[in-house]
């Protein structure tokens, strides 16, 4: 055996590589020059030679290693399959060469194994940081930075073109996740055109999987849809120029009997916000090829001699214990290895946003009135949404004008942004501001000065969405200008938070600053420009909290999350709809990533009326805030909001940093439930919801997860978000309670009453929730280990 990192074992003689931690193994080998995947799944022990895993049954198919080759190219589980060499499934790479050929032959050329995980140039990516083991071992003083991952880089070379593909595999020490990306370098003498480059190709030996995609549209984003794999291609993709609300750049591939609690599953997630393609292809021999990368449709990239192209990162996660465990894995990766560490596990400010309170119709007095009431209730941050900018005939008083002119409208805010920020600060709130940096109205000073900065195809009309157009962020001059104008606003005032919106997709894609052969680069260059602006703003204002948004949740992906620790999950603020949206989003994204607000009733999107208690109990499984006109509420409702805020502030660390378990899916519109559990299993908080009540309802119990079987827990039942008195008199049968002594409460636990139950009872028998309320009702259970008290 040769080099041996802790997580990567390498047999130099056989060119075999085994990436493994305690949870997952990926074994790679080289067969007749091709890099192949010998196994990916649950961790297996090291062995010197895994060569027996190479399929050598010979079928009448192409070989690429000469007449005496023992292997068919279509049978090898290739890591980097190419176009046109006898493997007729979708290739991971297609290169157009100057003679018109698309044939390449990438062969193994060497490797490097390193500690840590390098950044990807220009792109968001996961970072290594310190492993959990070393964090808990701080006393020894030996904690090494960057020890939470190790990276294997394998070079594959195509001799004829001089191209090298470097396949990067970073395995995390504490999570069953391998981060993958590819870097193509042109070491030849001719330019080439990259037409397709998958970030991850994974060939699996059978096809006994379901694919769960996350689908939707505006106001109903990310609903899971599960179907068995079948021969042919099953795919989700985006051509919108953003990850989109229609399909998400993440999917789950699970064994058919896998459920939330048990069974095997792979998760694939793209750390990218532009056009993507994620698909599974099942061939005639029931093998499966999973691919995730930039959508090849509409993409090409000219690579001149000496240049490199870096693909975005794809995360491959594995679970041997069901879908909740797979979600925990991705949540930990997001919080500990992707989110800006300044915010990752830090408490987020409870905010009020004026959008649904005023839309475009506000004065500074109105905003300050709203802020004063919000402050009285305990809100911490006031966010001024759309409508504060543009001047004169370009004033943003509706959605027809002003985008692009990031300069305050003095008719609305006479003392400028500095003035309103000071006034809000004087009330005792932080101040936040809305921008839509990538967009422009034709009715704007910016358009009058730079009509050529809009993405448009010369000689053709441009599609219009919401009276606006997209700025060409592939042009660095545009990004420089927007950066300068945003920087001027943000440095002129005390702005703690920015809401970065994006309300239309890219059409007539054409980059007027580049020649014909570079036109396929626009979509990717555009999103690189977006990321560059994020990075520059965060470098200039490191403490700024930027919340991502795109007509609600139209760009909710791990790329944006690398810069925006939270993303507005949907413009649909109806609590019932939010149960579905947040439930689906939680498959890959933690609670603290999901922007969620309590809004007015009847709800503006659905017209439905729901109790304040229900609205609060759903929004608290998100970043939590308010988006309603508090001046229209009575004293009772304002008092309840103050209680909700105090409640959320107390339980936010548990809600945001605990592990989320999905208990009951909301998609039958009857009931839903989820819970978060602290990592030491001592505390949990459960949200249990009735969507539509059922007459003469059958008995119903919600079974909890993640607790210690033998420990005793006090379970406090609440019908609204109100911190309970810690008065032992209200606890039913705590004294001398044993797992067999469940107390006298029969049926559902009444509001405000606490009982004692063992973890085993709570997980296997469950809590009776037959009678917790009529339509649109919520029950919260606070679950605390008794030895805590
Ligand atoms: C769409 C966003 O999703 C809303 O929250 C709001 O900011 C509007 N844009 C403002 O135009």
Task: Convert the pLDDT of each residue in 367-404 to its tens digit.
Answer: 999 999 999 999 999 999 999 999 999 999 999 999 99
| Short-list 319, 255, 263, CA closest to 288 | 255
Residues 588 and 679 in one domain: no
The catalytically annotated residue of 155, 571, 572, 732 is: 571
* Global pTM value: 0.96
Please give the average per-residue pLDDT across 456-480, as a whole number: 96
Residues 442 and 576 in one domain: yes
What is the CA(386)–ligand 1 centre distance, in A?
7
The catalytically annotated residue of 501, 659, 732, 769 is: 501
Residue 517 half-sphere exposure toward CB, CA atoms < 13 A:
10
Candidate of 571, 572, 596, 599 to mutate for ligand 1, largest count of ligand atoms within 8 Å of Cβ: 571
Residues 159 and 223 in one domain: yes
Using the atom order of ligand 1, give the atom closest to the CA of residue 549: 3
Q: What is the pLDDT of residue 787?
A: 81
Give 725's pLDDT tier (boundaries 50, 70, 90). confident
472 is annotated as contributing to ligand binding: no
Q: What is the pLDDT of residue 763?
A: 98
Q: What is the pLDDT of residue 58?
A: 60
**Res 734 pLDDT > 70:** no
Residues 682 and 777 in one domain: yes
- On average, the pLDDT of the chain sits at 94
Burial class of residue 68, CB neighbours in 10 A (0-12, 13-18, 19+): exposed
Q: What is the pLDDT of residue 59?
A: 63
What is the CA(34)–ligand 1 centre distance, in A?
50
CATH of the domain at 314: 2.70.98.60
How large a percentage of the chain has pLDDT more than 90?
89
Is 395 domain-assigned? yes
Cβ atoms of 155 and 111 within 8 Å: the answer is: yes
Candidate of 362, 385, 467, 552 to mutate for ligand 1, largest count of ligand atoms within 8 Å of Cβ: 385
Using the atom order of ligand 1, give the atom closest to the CA of residue 399: 11
Residues 355 and 263 in one domain: no
501 is annotated as contributing to ligand binding: yes
Q: What is the pLDDT of residues 632-676, one digit of tens each?
A: 999 999 999 999 999 999 999 999 999 999 999 999 989 999 999
For ligand 1, say whether the CB of 503 is within 6 Å of any of its atoms.
yes
Please give the average per-residue pLDDT across 505-532, as a whole number: 98
CATH of the domain at 730: 2.60.40.1180
Last residue of a domain, one of 630, 657, 684: 657
| Short-list 677, 550, 682, 570, CA closest to 618 | 570
What is the CA(236)–ligand 1 centre distance, in A?
26
The Cα 678–Cα 658 span in angstroms is 4
Is 626 domain-assigned? yes
The Cα 385–Cα 90 span in angstroms is 45
Is 507 domain-assigned? yes
Candidate of 388, 501, 556, 569 to mutate for ligand 1, largest count of ligand atoms within 8 Å of Cβ: 501
Cβ atoms of 763 and 709 within 8 Å: the answer is: yes
Last residue of a domain, one of 338, 370, 396: 338
For ligand 1, say whether the CB of 74 is within 6 Å of any of its atoms.
no
Strands 597-599 and 625-627: parallel
Using the atom order of ligand 1, give the atom closest to the CA of residue 551: 3
Is 133 domain-assigned? no
Residues 402 and 271 in one domain: no
Q: Does residue 501 carry a catalytic annotation?
A: yes
* Total tally of structural domains belonging to the chain: 3
- The residue range of the domain holding 758 is 664-734+744-785
Q: What is the pLDDT of residue 63?
A: 73
Q: What is the pLDDT of residues 43-79, one digit of tens each?
A: 999 999 999 999 766 666 777 777 777 788 888 999 9
CATH of the domain at 622: 3.20.20.70
Taking the mean position of all CA atoms in its chain, how far away is CA 701?
31
Give 572's pLDDT tier (boundaries 50, 70, 90). very high
Residues 357 and 217 in one domain: no
412 is annotated as contributing to ligand binding: no
Q: Does residue 574 carry a catalytic annotation?
A: no
Is 247 domain-assigned? yes
Whether the CA torsion 227, 229, 231, 234 is positive or negative: it is positive
340 is annotated as contributing to ligand binding: no
Residues 401 and 331 in one domain: no
Q: What is the pLDDT of residue 67?
A: 73
* Radius of gyration from C-alpha coordinates of the chain: 27
Residues 332 and 358 in one domain: no
The Cα 309–Cα 15 span in angstroms is 26
What is the CA(244)–ligand 1 centre distance, in A?
15
Q: What is the pLDDT of residue 57?
A: 60
Cβ atoms of 621 and 687 within 8 Å: the answer is: yes
Q: What is the pLDDT of residue 574?
A: 98
What is the CA(622)–ligand 1 centre distance, in A?
18
Please give the average per-residue pLDDT across 519-531, as a whole number: 98
775 is annotated as contributing to ligand binding: no
Give 697's pLDDT tier (boundaries 50, 70, 90). confident
At 447 the three-state DSSP class reads: helix
Taking the mean position of all CA atoms in its chain, how far away is CA 724?
34
Residue 259 half-sphere exposure toward CB, CA atoms < 13 A:
6
Alpha helices, H only, 248-339: 322-337
What is the CA(499)–ligand 1 centre distance, in A?
9
Is 139 domain-assigned? no
Residues 323 and 436 in one domain: no
For ligand 1, say whether the CB of 571 is within 6 Å of any of its atoms.
yes
**Res 740 pLDDT > 50:** no
Q: What size, in residues, is the chain?
A: 789
For ligand 1, say whether the CB of 130 is within 6 Å of any of its atoms.
no
The Cα 780–Cα 675 span in angstroms is 9
Residues 464 and 384 in one domain: yes
388 is annotated as contributing to ligand binding: no
Closest C-alpha residue for ligand 1 atom 11: 386
Is 640 domain-assigned? yes
Residues 639 and 727 in one domain: no
Is 566 domain-assigned? yes
Q: What is the pLDDT of residue 136?
A: 43
218 is annotated as contributing to ligand binding: yes
Q: What is the pLDDT of residues 180-193, one digit of tens each?
A: 999 999 999 999 99
Last residue of a domain, one of 637, 657, 677: 657
For ligand 1, say whether the CB of 551 is within 6 Å of any of its atoms.
yes
């Amino acid at each position: 055996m040769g080099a041996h990192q802790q997580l990567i074992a390498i047999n130099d003689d056989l060119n075999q590589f085994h990436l493994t931690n305690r949870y997952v193994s990926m074994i790679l080998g080289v067969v007749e020059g091709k890099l192949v995947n010998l196994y990916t799944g649950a961790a297996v022990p090291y062995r010197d030679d895994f060569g027996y895993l190479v399929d050598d049954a010979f079928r009448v198919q192409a070989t690429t290693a000469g007449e005496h080759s023992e292997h068919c190219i279509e049978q090898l589980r290739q890591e980097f399959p190419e176009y046109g060499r006898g493997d007729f499934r979708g290739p991971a790479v297609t290169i157009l060469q100057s003679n018109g050929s698309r044939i390449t032959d990438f062969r193994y050329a060497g490797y490097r194994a390193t500690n840590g995980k390098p950044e990807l140039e220009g792109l968001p990516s996961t970072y290594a940081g310190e492993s959990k083991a070393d964090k808990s071992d701080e006393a020894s003083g030996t904690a090494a930075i960057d020890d939470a991952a190790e990276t294997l880089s394998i070079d594959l070379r195509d001799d004829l073109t001089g191209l090298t593909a470097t396949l990067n595999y970073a395995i995390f020490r504490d999570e069953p996740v391998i981060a993958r990306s590819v870097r193509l370098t042109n070491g030849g003498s001719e330019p080439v055109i990259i037409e397709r480059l998958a970030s991850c190709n994974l060939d699996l030996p059978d096809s006994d999987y379901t694919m769960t995609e996350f689908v939707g549209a505006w106001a109903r984003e990310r609903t899971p849809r599960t179907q068995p794999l079948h021969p042919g291609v099953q795919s989700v993709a985006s051509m919108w120029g953003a990850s989109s609300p229609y399909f998400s750049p993440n999917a789950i591939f699970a064994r058919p009997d896998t459920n939330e609690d048990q069974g095997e599953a792979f998760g694939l997630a793209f750390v990218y916000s532009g056009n993507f393609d994620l698909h599974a292809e099942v061939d005639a021999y029931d093998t499966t090829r999973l691919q995730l990368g930039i959508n090849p449709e509409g993409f090409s990239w000219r690579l001149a001699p000496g240049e490199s192209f870096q693909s975005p990162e794809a995360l491959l996660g594995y679970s041997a214990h069901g879908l909740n465990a797979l979600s925990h894995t991705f949540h930990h990766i997001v919080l500990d290895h992707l989110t800006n560490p300044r915010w990752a596990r830090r408490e987020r400010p409870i905010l009020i946003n004026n959008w649904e309170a005023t839309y475009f119709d506000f004065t500074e007095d109105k905003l300050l009135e709203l802020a004063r009431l919000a402050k009285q209730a305990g809100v911490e941050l006031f966010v001024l949404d759309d409508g504060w900018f543009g001047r004169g005939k370009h004033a943003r008083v509706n959605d027809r004008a002003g985008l692009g002119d990031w300069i305050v409208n003095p008719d609305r805010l006479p003392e400028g942004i500095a003035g309103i920020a000071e006034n809000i600060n004087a009330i005792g709130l932080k101040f936040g501001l809305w921008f839509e940096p990538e967009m422009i109205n034709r009715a704007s000073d910016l358009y009058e000065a730079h009509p050529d900065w809009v993405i448009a195809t010369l000689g053709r009309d441009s599609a219009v969405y919401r009276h606006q157009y997209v700025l060409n962020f592939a042009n660095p001059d545009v990004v420089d200008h927007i950066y300068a104008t945003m920087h001027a606003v943000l440095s002129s005032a005390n702005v703690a938070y920015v809401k970065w919106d994006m309300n239309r997709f890219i059409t007539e894609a054409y980059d007027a600053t580049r020649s014909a052969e570079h036109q396929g680069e626009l979509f990717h260059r555009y999103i690189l420009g977006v990321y560059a602006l994020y990075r520059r703003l965060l470098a200039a204002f490191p403490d700024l909290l930027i919340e991502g948004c795109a007509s609600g949740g139209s760009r909710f992906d791990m790329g944006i999350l690398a810069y925006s620790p939270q993303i507005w999950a949907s413009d649909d603020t109806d609590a019932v709809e939010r149960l579905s949206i947040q439930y689906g989003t939680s498959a890959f994204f933690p609670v603290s990533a999901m922007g969620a607000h309590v809004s007015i009733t009847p709800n503006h999107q659905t017209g439905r009326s729901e109790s304040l208690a229900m609205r609060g109990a759903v929004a608290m499984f998100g970043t939590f805030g308010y988006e309603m006109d508090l001046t229209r509420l009575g004293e009772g409702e304002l008092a309840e909001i103050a209680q909700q805020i105090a409640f959320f502030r107390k339980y936010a660390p548990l809600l945001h940093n605990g592990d989320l378990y999905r208990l009951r899916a909301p998609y039958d519109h009857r009931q839903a439930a989820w819970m978060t559990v602290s990592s030491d299993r001592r505390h949990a908080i459960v949200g249990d919801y009735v969507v539509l009540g059922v007459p003469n309802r059958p008995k119903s119990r919600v079974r909890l997860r993640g607790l210690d079987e033998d420990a005793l827990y006090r379970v406090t039942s609440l019908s609204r978000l109100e911190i309970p008195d810690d008065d032992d008199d209200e606890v039913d049968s705590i004294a001398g309670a044993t797992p067999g002594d469940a107390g006298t409460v029969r049926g559902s636990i009444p509001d405000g009453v606490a009982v004692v139950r063992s973890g085993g009872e709570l997980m296997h028998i469950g809590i009776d929730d037959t009678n917790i309320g009529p339509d649109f009702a919520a029950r919260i259970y606070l679950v605390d280990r008794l030895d805590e008290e």
